[in-house]
Amino acid sequence: MGPRVPLCRPDVGEEELAAIREVFQAGSLSHGPQVVEFEHAFARLIGVPHAVAMSSWTSAAFLVCAYLREGFGPGEIILPSYTFVASANVVACAGLTPRFADVDWASHEVTVETLEPLVNERTRGIMVVHFGGRPCDMPAISEFAARHRLPMIEDSAECLGAKVGGRQAGSYGIGIFSFYSTKNITTGEGGMVVTADGQLADWLRIRMAHGVRKGSFTRDGAAQRWFRNAVAPGHNFRLSNFQAAMGLVQLSKLQQMNSRRRAVARAYDSALRGLSGVERPDLLPDGEHSFQMYVVRVPATERDRILTRLIEDGVEASVHFDPPVHEQTAYASPAVRLPVTERLSRSAVTLPISSVQTTEQTEFVIDSFRRAMRP
């Protein structure tokens, strides 16, 4: 028997099954028209000319980092340590060096103030991480990146449908989204790069498909459709056609699903306001949160006890992120100290949230959390 309230559940049903069934019946399981349609619809949503679908956020981000490595040479990418380790892994695996920045206590995100001291002659780019559905202060960070002539990656894995400065998160730099099952839309696994740079989009399409410029679907009308010429070394990071079909349905429901997430967040906000020892998520005054997660901060000395009591009560609460990346074995260095990140990682509690979470489940989480906060 699972928890009474799971941390997150995907919002999928008959519409997604019907879309997948249609692809199965057509027989175009790998590449196909749904992939192209999904990319076009996604680009329109974010407000950029190009979207490139891939097998995961990780494969997409790795190729973007490899593109920067090829174009600018070896060096450092500045990114927060307060993130999932995949953000650093793609940098390192592409032959670049992660340089960890501290974050702001209220937002859990990098700011111009935390980025500025780390820029040097070895800096090859910046990766911001939009935390839990809250966009970073992209107008300010974009101006900062432009001033230093640095490419900017937006790790938007947790931020689909969120806005800042009147624009979609992911539209300011090179946006990379995730379709993992806990995200705002899901295809099981999957990712998407969005960009205004046609050269980058073309480079990605070649490297994600074995270095061959055109895939099997786009060869259908060619006179020599069997002709496959690799113009560069590449990988197989393609999204399947049936995943894209599912993604199209999910994308059509995004506004509705995010609205339900916001309703859960409002209920939490109202119930936890004024509760001693609890700090609620910080909201941007000119932004729109997509609430992929709902993370509160509690006293560090009490966090593990509170978390254990929630889990024992049937509430699948969790922590994002402990330990932070700079304290994990693969990246640990005694020279790196990030006091805000370290304090956050020991104070954060992630409460359940999803678009299928019922009012009764939300009320149970609130009651359980109140009980857990008592000594």
183, part of any domain: yes
Residue 218: what pLDDT?
Answer: 52
Spatial separation of the C-alpha atoms in residues 238 and 10, rounded to whole Å: 22
| CATH number of the structural domain spanning residue 207 | 3.40.640.10
Q: Which residues partner with 50 through β-bridges?
A: 195
CATH code for the domain in which residue 343 is found: 3.90.1150.10
User: How far apart, in whole angstroms, are the C-alpha atoms of residue 336 and residue 280?
Assistant: 28
Residue 4 lies in a domain: no
Burial of 311 (0-12, 13-18, 19+ CB in 10 A): middle
Side chain identity, residue 296? V
Query: Which of 194, 226, 252 lies at the terminal end of a domain, its last residue?
Result: 252
Task: Report whether 317 contacts 351 (CB < 8 A).
Answer: yes
Rounded-to-integer distance, Cα 191 and Cα 239, Å = 8
Write down the pLDDT at residue 69: 98
Q: Are 291 and 262 in contact (CB under 8 A)?
A: yes
Q: In total, how many domains does the chain have?
A: 2
- Residue appearing with tokens 């939490």: 268
Strand partners, 212: 230
Per-residue pLDDT tens over the stretch 233-289? 999 999 999 999 999 999 999 999 999 999 999 999 999 998 999 999 998 877 899
pLDDT at res. 1:
63
Same domain for 360 and 212?
Answer: no
pLDDT at 223: 55
* Phi, psi angles (nearest 5°) of residue 17: -65, -40
Query: Are residues 135 and 74 part of one domain?
Result: yes
Q: H-helix or E-strand containing 76?
A: strand 76-80
Parent domain of 360: 254-373
Burial classification of residue 369, based on how many CB atoms lie within 10 Å of its CB (0-12 exposed, 13-18 middle, 19 or more buried): buried
Same domain, 232 and 287: no
Place of tokens 């329109």: 44
Whether residue 321 sits in one domain with residue 193: no
Residue 340 in tokens: 């805000």
**Domain end among 231, 252, 273:** 252
My answer on whether 71 and 172 are in the same domain is yes
Asked whether residue 155 falls in the same domain as residue 233, the answer is yes
Helices (H), the chain: 14-26, 33-46, 57-72, 86-93, 112-115, 138-147, 198-207, 241-252, 254-272, 303-312, 339-345, 359-373
Cα–Cα distance, 282 to 224 (Å, whole number): 57
Do 291 and 264 touch, CB atoms closer than 8 A?
Answer: yes
Bridge partners of 318, per DSSP, are 350
CB contact at 8 A, 135 and 284: yes
Residue 269: other Cβ atoms inside 10 A: 14
Residue 189 and residue 65 in one domain: yes
- Shared domain for 55 and 133, answered yes or no, is yes
What is the pLDDT, as a whole number, of residue 28? Answer: 86
Q: If we measure between CA atoms, which residue out of 168, 155, 160 comes closest to residue 185?
A: 160
Nearest to 169 by CA among 269, 45, 80: 45
Residues 41, 132, single domain; the answer is yes
Q: Within a domain: residue 358?
A: yes
Domain C-terminal end among 252, 270, 297: 252
pLDDT at residue number 234? 96
Strand partners, 294: 351
Residues 231 and 368 in one domain: no
In-domain check, residue 179: yes
Catalytic site residues?
A: 183
Give dist(CA 301, CA 137) in Å, integer.
31
Predicted pLDDT at 222:
54
Q: Is 22 helix (H, G, I), strand (E, B) or coil?
A: helix
Mean pLDDT in consecutive groups of 10 residues from the start of the chain, 375 residues: 90 97 92 95 98 98 98 98 98 98 97 98 98 97 98 98 97 98 98 98 97 65 71 96 97 98 97 95 88 98 98 97 98 96 98 98 98 94
In a domain, 199, yes or no: yes
What DSSP state is assigned to residue 79?
E
**Residues 241 and 368 occupy one common structural domain:** no
Question: Around Cβ 225, how many Cβ atoms within 10 Å?
Answer: 12
Q: Name 102's Cβ contacts closer than 8 Å, sequence gap at least 6.
A: 80, 81, 110, 114, 338, 339, 340, 341
Give the pLDDT score at 226. Answer: 73
Residue 159: partners with Cβ closer than 8 Å, 6 or more residues away: 130, 133, 134, 135, 169, 170, 177, 184, 290, 292
What was the pLDDT predicted at 29?
Answer: 87
| Same domain as 344, residue 270 | yes
